[in-house]
Amino acid sequence: MLKLSVEEIIKKIQNEETFEAVSSDYSFTIKIEEYVYYACGAVHDGSQFRKELWNNCLHTAYERWFEEDPETKEMVKSHPIIIAGLDSRFEYDLNRAPETAIYEDAWGKQLWKNPLPKNQKEKSLQKHANFYRVVHALITKLEQKFGVCIVYDMHSYNWKRWTREVPTWNLGTSNVDNNRFGNEIESWRVILEKTPFPNGIKSTSKINDTFQGNGYFLKYITQNFKNTLVLATEIAKIYCDELTQIMYPEVISSVEKYLKTELKKHAETFYTIHNS
């Protein structure tokens, strides 16, 4: 893996070079093994929280972890194009617009003992801006090369906080073109519903049940690129114990193994239908 500036990453994308890199400020990673018509994103995979923020933060490390999406990059690691965040959403949230990316409170609890100084906010927002400069360059290249593109926007959510039965998988589609891409949305839902989990875990999938797909990553791509479908894909945290912070590697592995083939097949079908 290389360490590259945003400018170097963008230049490599524009030149269609294959590479794997971490940004020079260590805020995100990107891997391009081959230029294909689909990409995977894991914007909440990271948990880094820079030291100058520690003493000012009222949320514990566990409370932050609870709201992050650990191992979502791992679930799609076999695919040729992946972009993933390394920093905690509690520093800045890549799935929110810049003006709301830095929390004042989080899930009903005040986040900072004292208001963040302007220079600390600017440092975080620069990382946010850099990430989206790369996203823009990447999707521009894929649309130019293939005409259409599909992005699998991977997330997880805490199912135990719900007071009703919730699906294992949720697709948020309220901000994508359901008339144009409705068949691909439904076929992805069906694929997810068939995920063969170990340990007797049941797989169910629904559309806009727990979340509606209102994240900035999806909205940014959808609003700036007319031929890219973003599938906001949320897995319930059945792959860990969200209350004790214990991970279940065998469950994570089962998801990765299944998506290794089924996600690729889904992308191939999407491209076959829409590339004209």
Instruction: Report pLDDT for 161.
Output: 86
183 burial type by CB count under 10 A (0-12 exposed, 13-18 middle, 19+ buried): exposed
Q: What is the mean pLDDT of the chain?
A: 96
Instruction: Compute how many other C-beta atoms are within 10 angstroms of the C-beta atom of residue 21.
Output: 19
The answer to whether 204 and 260 have CB atoms below 8 angstroms apart is no
Instruction: Report pLDDT for 232.
Output: 98
Q: Does residue 276 register a pLDDT over 80? A: no
Structure tokens at 8: 């170097």
Rounded CA separation 151/174 (Å): 16
pLDDT digit string, tens, across residues 85-135? 999 999 999 999 999 999 988 888 899 999 999 999 999 999 999 999 999
Total domains present in the chain:
1
Beta-carbon contacts of residue 265 (< 8 Å; ≥ 6 apart):
none
pLDDT digit string, tens, across residues 137-146? 999 999 999 9
Instruction: Report pLDDT for 107.
Output: 81
Q: Does residue 254 register a pLDDT over 90? A: yes
CATH value at residue 54: 3.40.630.40
Q: Does residue 223 register a pLDDT over 90? A: yes
Structural domain for 240, as ranges: 2-274
Instruction: Report pLDDT for 106.
Output: 83
Q: Which of 258, 157, 274, 264 is nearest to 212 (CA)?
A: 157
Task: Decide: pTM greater than 0.85.
Answer: yes
The three-class DSSP label of residue 83 is strand
What mean pLDDT is predicted for residues 48-55? 95
